[in-house]
Amino acid sequence: MKCLAEVTAESDTPYWVRRDAFLSVVDHADFECRDSLVIQPRYLSTWFSGSNGGKSYFILPAFYLERGRAFFINGRHRTALLLQHLQLVPMSLTKTDAESTQYLEWMIEGRIQSGDLLELPDLSIVDAIY
């Protein structure tokens, strides 16, 4: 499935995040706080939006880095799903502290530019997951 990236706030920066690097710095208590690792292989329809011209947008999961750890703003479930299928996961960074700069550089493959197409796994889209 091909779509464009959408961030939840204009100040967020969309990146390609390396799966293994992210998993090594994510705060696992934060990641698993909502049973986000018990997932079905499908997308929730609210993770997508449409716009003029019929283009489809995927709303990126958002995280921040603090003290060398990654914490979620939103998108735990989306991230857990994508981590099962992709080596590079599209995510948006909301903020980072000075202590975490080295971790950011290690985690990021590159910035997602406006107009870049995301190639997501072909999975069904449903209105409810549970």
Sign of CA dihedral 89, 76, 83, 48: negative
Distance CA(86)–CA(93), nearest Å, equals 18
pLDDT of 42 = 93
Q: Confirm if 90 and 18 have CB atoms less than 8 A apart.
A: no
User: What pLDDT, on a 0 to 100 scale, did the predictor assign at position 128?
Assistant: 84
Each residue's pLDDT tens digit in the chain (130 positions)?
Answer: 999 999 999 999 999 999 999 999 999 999 987 665 568 899 999 999 986 567 899 999 999 999 999 999 999 999 999 999 999 999 999 999 999 999 999 999 999 999 999 999 999 999 987 6
pLDDT confidence of residue 51: 62
Q: Are 12 and 94 in contact (CB under 8 A)?
A: yes
Residue 113 DSSP symbol: P
